[in-house]
């Protein structure tokens, strides 16, 4: 009888341990890299797509410039990072110009002189938006993420969000930013805020992701507000519209094809 009681107690103990491990596992915080990848999936569809990116620059609250881009993106089959073709739509002086982001290369093509020039992703395109800011990027492919805790954060629409705070370190030297801090909503993996830094540690810009709308099967940010790291009165807004799932031929993503590209 005593032996039977010992066996029952042991079985109960093992069951309790297994239950507690299951509950702990169910509530375990995912890895920082998994959180970052999930946030990438909120920002970017996992299939070829197109959209319109309208950039608006403000100085001291007054609009000073604007530009409109048509963007065609698809993930590379081997590495998973996006490749993008950007067509300038407006202003009229820039209409028809192209930028191609493929691998680590960024090329600018001007149909007037039929020349393609290699650019740096860090070069400014308009206001606080750099060339690299307008292309589609999976951060989890280029950065190593580490957990930096959880914080309540006010988003770009003055709402409080409970967020994972991640610190991102560049895996290579040819990415847009040396390191990044990003806040991601714990309930839905939506990116809320990012800070972008130079290698010196200087804050280059702060970005807020906002106006989430259902686009291509997912609630995605349709507006990014970028604020200068030194002058907070210098702001650039990127608005994303006309989302569409579409074919992006590999030919479009070749530098040699740029002179022959014709928008559909």
116-170 tens-digit pLDDT: 999 988 888 998 999 989 999 999 999 999 999 999 999 999 999 999 999 999 9
Q: How far apart are the first and last CA of the chain?
A: 83
Q: How far is it, in rounded angstroms, from Cα 99 to Cα 103? A: 13
Residue 1 has a pLDDT of: 53
- Identify whether the C-beta of residue 34 lies closer than 8 Å to the C-beta of residue 230: no
The whole-number pLDDT of residue 172 equals 85
List the beta strands (DSSP E) in the chain.
49-59, 62-75, 82-90, 98-102, 105-110, 115-118, 124-126, 129-130, 143-154, 160-170, 179-185, 191-197, 203-215, 218-228, 234-245
Which of 19-23, 115-119, 198-202, 245-249 is least confident? Answer: 19-23
Question: How much is the pLDDT for 9?
Answer: 58
94 touches 110 (CB < 8 A): no
Which CATH code, of 2.50.20.10, 3.40.50.1970, 1.10.10.10, 2.60.120.260, is assigned to 32-260? Answer: 2.50.20.10
Structure tokens at 255: 């530098």
pLDDT value, residue 13: 47
Give the mean model confidence (pLDDT) for residues 239-244: 98
Per-residue pLDDT band at 18 (split at 50, 70, 90): very low
As a whole-number percent, the residues of the chain with pLDDT over 70 amount to 89
- Which secondary structure element, helix H or strand E, spans residue 22, and what is its range? helix 2-26
pLDDT score for 103: 76
Residue 158: burial class (beta carbons within 10 Å; 0-12, 13-18, 19+):
exposed
CA separation for the pair 227, 204 (Å, rounded): 9
Query: At residue 244, does pLDDT exceed 60?
Result: yes
Percent of the chain with pLDDT over 90: 78
**28 or 146: which leads in pLDDT:** 146
The predicted structure's pLDDT at residue 79: 79
Spatial separation of the C-alpha atoms in residues 91 and 73, rounded to whole Å: 22
How many Å apart are CA 141 and CA 67, to the nearest integer?
29
**Which residues does 184 contact at the CB level (< 8 Å), separation at least 6?**
35, 36, 38, 39, 163, 164, 166, 190, 191, 192
Confidence check: pLDDT of 84 > 60: yes
pLDDT score of 6 more than 70: no
pLDDT at 16 over 70: no
pLDDT computed for residue 24 by the predictor: 39
d(CA 87, CA 89): 6
The residue ranges of every structural domain in the chain are: 1-29, 32-260
For the cut 70, the answer to whether the pLDDT of residue 221 exceeds it is: yes
Q: What tokens appear for 122 in the block?
A: 């860090």
Q: How far apart are CA 249 and CA 251, in angstroms?
A: 5
pLDDT of residue 147: 95
Residue 263, pLDDT > 90, answer no
């Amino acid at each position: 009888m005593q032996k039977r009681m010992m066996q029952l107690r042991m079985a109960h103990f093992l069951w309790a341990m297994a239950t507690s491990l299951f509950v702990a596992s169910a509530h375990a915080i995912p890895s920082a890299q998994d959180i970052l990848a999930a946030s990438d999936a909120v920002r970017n569809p996992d299939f070829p797509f197109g959209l319109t990116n309208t950039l608006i620059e403000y100085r001291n609250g007054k609009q000073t410039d604007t530009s409109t881009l048509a963007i065609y993106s698809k993930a590379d089959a081997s590495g998973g990072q996006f490749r993008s073709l950007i067509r300038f739509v407006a202003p009229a002086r820039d209409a028809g110009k192209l930028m191609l982001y493929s691998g680590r290369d960024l090329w600018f093509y001007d149909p007037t002189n039929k020349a393609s020039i290699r650019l740096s992703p860090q070069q400014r395109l308009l206001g606080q938006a750099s060339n690299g800011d307008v292309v589609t990027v999976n951060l989890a492919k280029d950065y190593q993420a580490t957990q930096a805790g959880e914080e309540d954060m006010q988003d770009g629409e003055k709402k409080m969000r409970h967020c994972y705070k991640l610190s991102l370190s560049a895996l290579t030297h040819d990415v847009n930013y040396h390191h990044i801090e990003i806040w991601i909503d714990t309930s839905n993996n939506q990116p809320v805020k990012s800070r972008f830094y130079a290698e010196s540690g200087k804050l280059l810009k702060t970005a807020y992701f906002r106006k989430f709308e259902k686009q291509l099967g997912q609630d995605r940010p349709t507006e990014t507000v970028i604020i200068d790291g030194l002058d907070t009165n210098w702001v650039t807004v990127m608005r994303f519209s006309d989302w569409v799932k579409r074919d992006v031929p590999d030919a479009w993503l070749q530098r040699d094809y740029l002179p022959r590209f014709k928008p559909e």
